[in-house]
Chain A
């Protein structure tokens, strides 16, 4: 106390251990509209990647995405506006869904985070740690995906998203021109 700091009652601090952080920001449809507001249709592009294409992609960015991205052509009537990708990157402790919008020339229009979860790999590992809260009253439980937590403190690294975008750009170069 000599330096003017006050010790806090610790029990009070652990009253409200919240659930792990997860947020959905944008649906795929909303992200498409935000990127191409003037589009009249989003036409799915089937991805039929052969082994050679996959190998080339793997050279561009590691690790490759969990599953193949989804791809659409954004159209205004008969005119091509650009290409829209929905993809996800999975790190050790996080899952990040994101979208990439490219203009008709293949330049990046925008990258949006669709959803973000930090649960990955943590919940099980922390089961015993979390057990210490059993019986405490959770005055403000944060339900995953519904309530929103404003967290002060570092988020997980987002460099996987950068890797993911690089991979999608490489994939875009492999797609047949519309």
Chain B
């Protein structure tokens, strides 16, 4: 049986960013205002650069002109696009961040995020060039909703480390990462049939965790399937990975291609849980066969 969940006292702060509640936790003895401020500043930076709502964001600049002349973007935007491009290649285009026009039509993004003349399914038209420049063969409207939140969490964790925090946790609306703690951190996942109920499946150490579900009807860009319609998604998918950005992105890969996901999860040293709320109760599957250095299953599940 995993040991008691709160062996050390944590001090927590929360702010609204990335369109959600962002929580930063530090051990009480290490909880200083400059450390909290550094973490929230890292989150705010990602929000400014990668928000589809922000007219001066990198995404807005790419939509306005990358098809005419390559646009120099923030190193972080570039890094996120690199992973998006890799995952698109590895999933035959299923992981697609060129879906903003579809999300806009569905009312999940404002009309101006649709981009002029942009279409989805255009990952091959996205060019990552030298000097942090992003070009496009056709007009592109990007949405990084399926990956940038995880990246923001990773950057906030890096900021906490740089500010000298010995351990900490960052949770951006359910995408979270934890580092440095000697103790296992228990993580709850919402019951997909009743999000008020929290299930305890596993503990983590130095890992990122993300869950995709639409219990609160949030837009999940990469869940737009091949037919460019939003797929109904009754369950939830949780991924544990070395970074939160990977965990965030891989939840969408699992949702879109469950049969092919396992090989990809193994390559990225990630594990997935899929919960489904059916009429006969809760169904659950996992790719995780054993506990690892960063993941410990509840004994009942590990048996």
Contact = CB atoms under 8 A, between A and B. Distances in A.
Contacts of A123: 196
B201 interface: yes
B6 A148 contact: yes
Contact of B215 (A8, A148, A154): A154
Interface string A145-157: 0011111111111
B171 A150 contact: yes
A71 B176 CA distance: 34
A21 interface: yes
Interface string B185-224: 1111111001111111100000001110111101000000
A103 interface: no
A149 B25 CA distance: 12
Interface string B252-293: 000000111011000000000111000001111111110000
27 contacts: A3-B258, A3-B262, A4-B263, A5-B285, A5-B287, A12-B300, A12-B301, A13-B301, A15-B200, A26-B13, A37-B33, A111-B15, A112-B14, A113-B13, A113-B16, A113-B21, A116-B21, A142-B198, A151-B188, A152-B187, A152-B209, A153-B174, A153-B236, A154-B195, A155-B174, A158-B19, A162-B16
B298 interface: yes
B185 A150 contact: yes
Q: How large is the interface on A (under 10, 10 to 19, 20 to 34, 35 or more residues)?
A: 35 or more
B276 to A, nearest CB: 10
Interface in A5-30: 5-18, 20-21, 23, 25-26
A118 B259 CA distance: 35
Interface in B138-177: 169, 171, 173-176
